[in-house]
Structure 1
């Protein structure tokens, strides 16, 4: 399968959010290198050993620490990664930095993620603008990709968004999140881990206002390969 690309939000590499999120996942997507995971603290430590945590973080580790703005896509016919990066640079020049309020680790359905606990219209608007701006670079979903999406139990609106934009969770369906775990079916276990991660993140300064001052182009060079941060492009407006 051809390479895939995505437009993500990624905190600055020297920020507490990036350091904590990358370390927890066990991989730095900017350096494309493994990282030692911090020791799990709090009540959740009795629920998980190192092997279980490695499995729990496998999927988000493969995608790299991020929040999705324009979800992964193959390049459409006639497009090249150089053109995508040029478009991202042009897009970023028109954007102004802003702060995302009240960001902390919390449950999101069966998962745990960094979430904004207060609304942030600026981030919602940024995600919508990215979906539209980079659409010319997106190849249509193939039959297997469509089938996988439809198997997820989408609402009629999400199905329509998938047909038009290739992804169900855009525009009014968008929810900012930076995934920290795979699915955890036990509610009590999930809440204990969320509380532990919240305390650990707060101790490292990875809570509160998160600065959004760039977009990032991520690349998955081959099917199943980890995504890597190809270019982080600061806002300049």
Structure 2
């Protein structure tokens, strides 16, 4: 069993529903969804190019998947996550846009959001004591030979390379694409998601995702509301 602390909008948010349809799976229910009908892009092409993010579900990673430390139980993690979420006020991200991130596409804020970066850093630091150290196999799967020096240092210290100053908020929509595939996937993504990207995104909860066994799809275990009201409920 592995756990991850992510951001995702609520289950019935229009963006969540649209992204779940695009990816072919709803991370809240675990159910498969029918890909959208998009002119010029076959259903099999959408299914193929979304296979990697489909397993993870629609999310932005804050604390990447981790095994619990031997002395930590799931109830301990849940209690701390509820308290932590309740101690942070909700905030807004700038409107999102479809962007190329290396060789894949995802949703990113139109302008950088320093508050989100600092919040993500706080999540990584706060919950590191709950994480079991990476095994040798897990370390090698992170491909440390291709990392920059800061990324390697993050992997060694925090269990994931793309945290702290290397963090960039994104919600993946495809796996790696060849240049010829990007030419028709990119306009399809922009057309499909444009109705859902017209306003700021409310960051009002933290989501605990679980991976029941190695390679299994990640699924939302629970949402944890942020802010004073949430804090009073668990005090």
- If the length of structure 1 is used for normalisation, what is the TM-score? 0.92
Residue 40 of structure 1: aligned partner:
38
Q: Alignment partner of 1:28: what SS?
A: coil
Instruction: Note if 1:125 corresponds to 2:118.
Output: yes
* Contact 1:20–1:206 (Cα < 8 Å) also in 2: no
* Contact 1:28–1:34 (Cα < 8 Å) also in 2: yes
Q: Which runs of 5+ in 1 are unaligned?
A: none
Structure 1 position 15, deviation (Å):
1.5
Work out the CA distance in 1 between the residues paired with 2:183 and 2:94. Answer: 22
Q: Alignment partner of 1:33: what SS?
A: coil
Residue 223 of structure 2: aligned partner:
232
Instruction: Note if 1:212 corresponds to 2:203.
Output: yes
Residue 232 of structure 2: aligned partner:
none
User: 1:1-237, aligned counterparts within 5 Å?
Assistant: 3-41=1-39, 45=40, 48-151=41-144, 153-186=146-179, 189-203=181-195, 205-237=196-228
Residue 233 of structure 2: aligned partner:
none
Work out the CA distance in 1 between the residues paired with 2:90 and 2:187. Answer: 30
* Contact 2:6–2:62 (Cα < 8 Å) also in 1: yes
Structure 1 position 189, deviation (Å):
3.4
Work out the CA distance in 1 between the residues paired with 2:188 and 2:42. Answer: 14
Work out the CA distance in 2 between the residues paired with 1:174 and 1:156. Answer: 14
* Contact 1:107–1:191 (Cα < 8 Å) also in 2: no
The ranges of structure 1 where at least 4 consecutive aligned residues each deviate by more than 4 angstroms after the TM superposition are: none
* Contact 1:104–1:208 (Cα < 8 Å) also in 2: no
Q: Alignment partner of 1:208: what SS?
A: coil
Map Cα deviations across residues 193-236 of structure 1 (whole Å, 9 max, x no partner).
22221221123x24431111000000000011110000011112
Structure 1 position 191, deviation (Å):
4.6
Q: Alignment partner of 1:172: what SS?
A: helix
Structure 1 position 151, deviation (Å):
4.5
Work out the CA distance in 2 between the residues paired with 1:229 and 1:129. Answer: 21
Q: Which runs of 5+ in 2 are unaligned?
A: 229-235
Query: Number of matched residues?
Result: 228
Structure 1 position 108, deviation (Å):
1.1
Work out the CA distance in 2 between the residues paired with 1:33 and 1:196. Answer: 24
Map Cα deviations across residues 16-47 of structure 1 (whole Å, 9 max, x no partner).
21111111101111111111111124xxx2xx
- If the length of structure 2 is used for normalisation, what is the TM-score? 0.92
